[in-house]
Each structure stands twice: as C-alpha cells, then as structure tokens.
C-alpha cells in the first residue's frame, strides 16, 4: 500500500515537451513510474523519447486511461492546466510550478472544491510525491528514497518545504528505514493538499507505521495539524520545524497581526506538536534520529 499513488497509477506529464517537464518526466519514467503520455497544446502526435504527446488532457485520457497528472508548466498557464486535468477526470494532479500568483491559486483551489471534488491537487510549488519502488511524480531524486519492506516498520513523510523533503528522505535512507510514501505538499499560500489530508491517509494506510512531518515558520498549518493529531492520529510521529533562528518576518499590515494572533512562530508550532505527542527534533537529522528510535521500538 501507499497513499495517493501506487504502482498502478497512470501518469500524464502536462508540459512534457518543455525543459522541466521533459527532464523530470523522463527521470520519473526511468524510476519506474508508469508515464503513459504527455500533453502540450499544438504538439499532439509527436513523442518524447517514445512517450506519446497529445493536444489536450481529454484526448490523452481517452487514449491512455491516465488517472494522474504531473503539471510542469510555467506559472501563467498552471491554473489552466490544473483545471483542464480536473475537467478531463484526472483524480490526482501534482503541480510543481513555482511562482503562481496567489489570487490564481485561491481561485483554482476553490473551483476544484466546488466543481471537481473528486480531483486532488498536490502543490503547487511542491517537489511532488514518491512511493519508493512504485511511483515517483515530480522532481524528487528517486535514489534518495528507501523502499518500504513488507514486514515493516515503514515511515510516511509529509513536508511543507521542498528541499527539506529530500533531507527527510535521505535521513531515513541513511538509517535504512523504509518509506511508504513521501508527500511534499509545498509551501505556497493555498496548497491543494495539506498536512491533515496526508495524516488522515497515513493513519489509514496499513503499510505506514510511523509518520515524520517537516514544517516551517509562517501560517498556521502545523498548529492545525497538531489539533488533528491529538484526536485522530495514533501512529507515532517525529517532526522538525524549519526557521527556529530565522529573523522575524515582515508584518503584513494590521491585517496580518489580527489574523495570526501570535501563531506562526517555530516555537509555537513545536509546542503545539509536542502537546499532541509528536517527538520534536531541532534539526532534520535529529528528527531522523528520533524516528529511528521510534521505529526500533515498533
């Protein structure tokens, strides 16, 4: 088992003919991901290293039966690409694009919620998702992820920071700890998938025995996750929050102060998670060591 994706997931790459789409799409295929097609308007009928390219997601779905998409398109086209995938019935869209305007993200997210409730968006501005040995969608280097074992125990990873997602995977790899699925949810203002969505899936996934979470300063996603963990997550967890020593960020007018009400600091997030029973590391390595201890006791 794995969450959101597995060895049967059929993936389209939106933007397969572009630089990033081609590079990472082919890397994903080399990893073993079932990449069934690419989509670039106007380039239908071509192929990229044997992968057929279609003009639209709808055509690609009809021809390949794809059920997931990897959107690797520039910011100004990203919202359109995500909604096109949803309209074509794609159930899982991974968008790695950095620099999408926040207004577009908010509108796209709420349009999905209202009109396409069966489509889950991961990202944007995220590294993607990897179920080691089964499926890798996005920009994570596959070789840094340790495959899960049938006997376990295996760890699920969820991270809000891109590069720290890799760091978390690598910490566990060095310790020989298998990973069921690693989800990079991205740090943008309106992520399609949040900590709680992933925690819910990991809690229900029989192949996941413990959960490692990487957060960062700003917003209140970690505090909300802590509330959820208290009542819904029984699997043991370790966490790291980046930005303990970061300088205080700029304050967004009075509105920022009124809304945040003191939330958002690394200390506040660590306290909230600790109160929910999560073991807190002060750096990624420590969080990995704490996870090794947890796993050894399972």
Give me the active site residues, please.
254
Q: Taking CB under 8 A as the rule, which mask of x and - marks residues 29-68 in contact with another protein?
A: ----------------------------------------
Any contact of residue 255 with another protein (CB under 8 A)? yes
Any contact of residue 2 with another protein (CB under 8 A)? no
Q: In this structure, what DSSP letter does residue 190 have?
A: S
CA distances from 149 to 20, 25, 30, 117 (A): 32, 26, 21, 33
Name which position in 4, 54, 70, 109 contacts another protein (CB under 8 A): 109
Closest approach, Cβ 134 to another protein, in A, equals 19
Element of type H or E holding 234: none
The size of the interface with another protein (CB under 8 A), counted in residues, is 64
Name which position in 62, 204, 259, 298 contacts another protein (CB under 8 A): 259
Q: Taking CB under 8 A as the rule, which mask of x and - marks residues 201-240 in contact with another protein?
A: -------------x-xx-xxx--x---------------x
- E strands along 224-293, which residues? 237-242, 279-281
CA distance 113 to 138: 23
Closest C-alpha to 213, from 297, 276, 144, 152? 276
Residues 6+ apart with CB under 8 A from 49: 26
Which CB sits closer to another protein, 167 or 201?
167
Closest approach, Cβ 137 to another protein, in A, equals 13
Element of type H or E holding 210: strand 210-216
CA distances from 90 to 86, 121, 236 (A): 5, 10, 33
Closest approach, Cβ 172 to another protein, in A, equals 13
- Among positions 134-193, residues that touch another protein (CB under 8 A) are 138-141, 144, 159-167, 170, 187, 189-190
Helices (H) and strands (E) in the chain, counts: 10, 14
Which CB sits closer to another protein, 256 or 277?
256
CA distances from 206 to 4, 197, 203, 231 (A): 14, 16, 8, 19
Name which position in 87, 98, 227, 271 contacts another protein (CB under 8 A): 98
Closest C-alpha to 27, from 68, 75, 70, 90? 70
Which CB sits closer to another protein, 20 or 46?
20
Closest approach, Cβ 246 to another protein, in A, equals 5
Any contact of residue 258 with another protein (CB under 8 A)? yes
Q: Under the phi-then-psi rule, with left for phi > 0, alpha for psi from -120 to 50, and beta for the rest, what region is 204? A: alpha
Residues 6+ apart with CB under 8 A from 216: 160, 161, 164, 187, 241, 242, 243, 266
Any contact of residue 114 with another protein (CB under 8 A)? yes
Residue ranges that bind another protein, judged by CB under 8 A: 20, 24, 75-76, 96, 98-103, 106-107, 109-111, 114, 127, 138-141, 144, 159-167, 170, 187, 189-190, 214, 216-217, 219-221, 224, 240, 242-247, 250, 252-259, 261, 282-285
């Amino acid at each position: 088992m794995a969450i959101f994706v597995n060895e049967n997931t059929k993936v389209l790459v939106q933007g397969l003919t572009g630089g990033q789409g081609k590079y990472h799409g082919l890397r994903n295929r080399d990893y073993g991901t079932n990449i069934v097609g690419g989509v670039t308007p106007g380039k239908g009928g071509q192929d990229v290293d044997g992968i057929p390219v279609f003009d639209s997601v709808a055509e690609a779905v009809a021809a390949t039966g794809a059920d997931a998409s990897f959107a690797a398109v520039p910011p100004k086209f990203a919202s359109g690409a995500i909604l096109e995938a949803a309209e074509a019935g794609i159930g899982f869209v991974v968008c790695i694009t950095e620099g999408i305007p926040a207004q577009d993200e908010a509108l796209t997210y709420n349009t999905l919620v209202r009109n396409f409730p069966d489509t889950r968006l991961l990202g944007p501005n995220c590294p993607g998702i990897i179920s080691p040995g089964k499926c890798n969608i996005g920009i994570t280097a596959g070789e840094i992820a340790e495959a899960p074992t049938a006997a376990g125990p295996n760890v699920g990873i969820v991270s809000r920071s891109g590069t720290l997602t890799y760091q978390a995977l690598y910490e566990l790899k060095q310790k020989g700890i298998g990973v069921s699925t690693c989800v990079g949810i991205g740090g943008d203002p309106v992520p399609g998938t949040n900590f709680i969505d992933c925690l819910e899936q990991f809690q229900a996934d029989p192949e996941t025995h413990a959960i490692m979470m990487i957060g960062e300063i700003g917003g209140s996603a970690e505090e909300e996750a802590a509330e959820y963990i208290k009542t819904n997550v029984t699997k043991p967890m370790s966490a790291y929050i980046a930005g303990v020593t970061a300088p205080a960020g700029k304050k967004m007018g009075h509105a920022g102060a009124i809304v945040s009400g003191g939330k958002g600091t690394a200390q506040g997030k660590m306290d909230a998670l600790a109160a929910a029973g999560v073991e807190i590391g002060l750096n990624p390595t420590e969080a990995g060591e704490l996870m090794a201890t947890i796993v050894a006791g399972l």
